[in-house]
Chain A
Amino acid sequence: MSTDKNQVGQNVVLGPAQARFLLSLASRIVPEVKDAEDEVKNGLVSSVDHALALQTSTSRLLFKFLLFVLQWVTVPFTLHRLERLPPKWQDAVLEFFENAPLTVVRAGIWGVKTLIYLGYYGQESVERRIQYLPSKTDGNSKLEALFRQRTQ
C-alpha cells in the first residue's frame, strides 16, 4: 500500500545534460539566473532535482519528457535546439507554450516554471536579494520599529 511520492528519494533525477538545459531555461524564466553565482545555479538544480525525487515516477518521467520536447521542438523549424536560439526567439517559444490552446500544454509549462521558481526563490541568498527578511520571533517588534521610523 505504500507509495513512493511522499518519501525522500536518494537518486539524482536529472542527468548532466538535462541539468544544463534546465539552467538555460531558468535563465529565460528568471533572467538573474544567467549571471548568478555558481552556488545559486547549483542550488536551483539541486532543489528541482530534490523536488522531482519526491514525485511519482510518472511525474518525473513527464517532467523529463517536457524538458526534452522544449529543447528539441524548435529543431524542425530552425535546425537549432531551443537554447541555441536568440533569447527573444526562446521567449517567443515559451510564450507560445504558456498560452497554448491545449490546457495540458499550458499546465506542463506552468509545472516547469513552478519548479524553476522553487529552485531560485527558495534560496536564502535570493530571499535576501529581494529584501525578504522575515523574523521568526520578532516580526511585531520589527513592524513597530518600522512604524516609528516612518512617523519620525
Chain B
Amino acid sequence: MSLREYDIVIVGSGAGGGTVASELAPLCAEGVRIAVLEWGPRFRDDEFTGREVEMAEKIFFDSGAIQNKARTLTVACVRAYGGSTVAYTGTSIEIPQRSIDRWNVPGITLDDLTPRMEKFKRENNVHELPDEDINENNGLFKQGCDSLGFAVKKFPVNLRGCRGSGMCNMGCPNQAKQGTNRVQLPHAEALGVEVVTNCRVEWIRDRILVAEVTPSPYGEPSPWPAGRYEVGAKIVVIAAGAMHSSALLLRSQLPVALPALGRYVTCHPALTLVAQHNRPITNYYGFPKTYYSDQFEATDNFILETCMYFPFTTAKSLTGFGAQHSAMMSDFRRLQMILVLVSDPAAEENHISANEAGDPVFHYEIADEVLDAFVSSQKAATRIFFAAGAERVHAPASNRFVIERESAGQIDSLISRAYMKLGKISVASAHPMGGCRMGDNAATSVTDVWGKVHGLDWLYVADGSLFPGSSGVNPYLTIMALADRVAESIRGKWRERERS
C-alpha cells in the first residue's frame, strides 16, 4: 500500500467538496497541502456526447437509478470530477425562510446563508435567461400558470455561453453550465489543491483514509497510479453526496457513537408529468428549465418546475404500455413536461446503510403526505397543461392512460390516491439530503452547525447530507453555502493551530 500525507483531505468534488476545496485553496500559498479524492473520472470535454443511455452509464452510479430497498423510487447520483454539479440543470434558487424554519437548527439562519449564496451566484454567473432563449415547453408553462393565477418565477441559472443543447442532465456538451467542474475545482487546482480522480475511499479511521485508485474506461487518467493508498490527513472533510457520505462513515466504524448517522434522509421524490399537444412545440431545443411555481410549496409541500427529458427517460416516466404509450411517444416534438418536486418529511426511519461491499442501501418509504402531494401536484399540473393548450395529459394517478381535453372539467375525480400505485409509477429523486444532519444534539444529529462531526475534532461533513430536512427547493446553492461555513470553520481552526 502506497502512503500519502496531506494536511487536509476532502472526499468528493461536487457542490460541497468543490466549494470547500476552492475556499481553502488560498491556504496552499502558506504551505498547506490539500487533496480532493474523487471516485469518478475527470471527463474530457468531447466525452459529453449527449447520448442518453451512454451518458447515464458513464456519469451516474447505477446508470442513474440507485433503487430504494422497497424498489419504489430511484435516486440519481453522479461520480465525476464535479460530482452531481456535472449533471444538474444549474438552477440556482436560494433556500427559503420557511425551510430554514422547518430545519429549526440554532445558528443556521438565512441572514448567515444569504451572503454566502450571493457570493456563489456571482462566482457561477447566475442570471435569468433572456426571453428570446425560452422555448415553448417553458413558455407554455408560464402561460398556463398565468391564466390560472398560479405564481410563476424564472429560475436563476448558472450558465455561461449556453448553446441550448438541452442536454444539461447528461453533462453539458458545451461546457456552459458553471458547476464545480468548471469554476471551483479549476480555481482550487490553480492555487495548488491536488484533485485525485478515480479514487474511491474505502474507510476512514483516526486521520487515516484508505483508498483505491482504479483505472476508468473514461476520462483523463488519475494522477495517482492504480493501487491502494493509505492517506494521512490532519483534517478530513467528507463531501461524497448524501448517499455515499453516510455509507462511507458507516463502514468506517468511527470511535464515537452517532445514532443519527445515515438517518433522517429526505430526497425530494419527483414525478415527470407529460402532456401532448396537437402540434409540434419547441421543446428539446433551448435550455430545458426556465420557470417554476412555488404556489403550493407552503400549503401542499410541492413545487412544479419545467423540464424536458430524453426519450428513454420520458418513456419510463409513463405508466402503462402498448399502443397508447406508443401514441404518446410517437412525435416527441408535441410533448410538454412538468416536473413535480415534493418536500418529504425527515423521518428517522428513512435511512442509509452500507452493504457488505460498502455501497449505500437506501431504506426509504414514501410517506402518506408525499403521496397526497403527488396527487395534488398532478391535479395542478394537469390544469396547467390544459390551460396551456395541451390536448391530453398523462397523469400517473389517473384511472386512465391519458385525460383528454374534453374531460378537463373532471380532473378532481379522475386523479385520485386510489390510482396512485407505488412500484407502477416512476418516482425518481435527484436530491438526496440528510444522513449526516447538523444540529446541537448528538442523539439526533451527526455534526454541529459548522459541519464538524460530534466528538471528533478532525472530521467534517460538507454536502447535502448536512441538511436536517428537505430544502424544499433545488439544493445546490444551499449546499455551497453550508460548505462555505465548513471551510470558514476549518480555516479558523487552522489559524488557531498555527498560532499555538
Query: Footprint of B on A, CB under 8 Å?
Result: 1-3, 5-6, 8, 28-32, 47, 51, 54-55, 91, 94, 98-99, 103-111, 113-114, 117-118, 120-122, 124, 126-127, 130-132, 134-144, 146-147
Closest A-B pairs by Cβ, 4 of them: A139-B164, A106-B423, A140-B164, A107-B423
B165 touches A29 (CB 8 A): no
A1 touches B285 (CB 8 A): no
CA distance A114 to B427 in the complex (A): 12
Q: What mask results when residues 159 to 171 of chain B are scored 1 for a CB within 8 Å of chain A, else 0?
A: 0001111110000
CB-CB under 8 A for A140 and B133, given A130-B330, A130-B332: yes
A117 touches B167 (CB 8 A): no
CB-CB under 8 A for A105 and B423, given A28-B321, A134-B50: yes
CA distance A140 to B176 in the complex (A): 13
B316 touches A113 (CB 8 A): yes
CB-CB under 8 A for A137 and B163, given A98-B320, A117-B316: yes
Interface residues of B in 317-338 (CB under 8 A from A): 319-323, 325-326, 329-333
CB-CB under 8 A for A134 and B285, given A105-B423, A126-B311, A143-B133: yes
B143 within 8 A of A: no
CB-CB under 8 A for A107 and B72, given A2-B212, A32-B326, A140-B285: yes
CA distance A22 to B214 in the complex (A): 35
A131 touches B282 (CB 8 A): no
CA distance A114 to B328 in the complex (A): 16
Q: What mask results when residues 61 to 86 of chain B are scored 1 for a CB within 8 Å of chain A, else 0?
A: 11100000011100000000000000
B321 touches A98 (CB 8 A): yes
Query: Closest CB-CB distance, B86 to chain A, in whole Å?
Result: 16
CB-CB under 8 A for A140 and B71, given A2-B357, A31-B323, A130-B332: no
CA distance A94 to B322 in the complex (A): 10
CB closest residue in chain B, given A7: B214
* Main DSSP-derived SS at the B contact region: loop
Chain B neighbourhood of A146, CB < 8 A:
282, 285
Number of chain B residues whose Cβ lies closer than 8 Å to a Cβ of chain A: 59
Chain A neighbourhood of B331, CB < 8 A:
130-131
A135 touches B165 (CB 8 A): yes
- Give which listed residue, A118, A136, A139, contacts B53 with CB less than 8 A: A118
Query: Closest CB-CB distance, A150 to chain B, in whole Å?
Result: 9
Chain B neighbourhood of A51, CB < 8 A:
63
B135 touches A143 (CB 8 A): yes
Interface residues of B in 158-210 (CB under 8 A from A): 162-167, 173-174, 200, 202
Query: Closest CB-CB distance, A62 to chain B, in whole Å?
Result: 10
- Give which listed residue, A31, A106, A121, A132, contacts B421 with CB less than 8 A: A106
B451 within 8 A of A: no
B164 touches A131 (CB 8 A): no
- Give which listed residue, A3, A6, A29, A104, contacts B423 with CB less than 8 A: A104
CA distance A99 to B70 in the complex (A): 16
Chain A neighbourhood of B135, CB < 8 A:
143
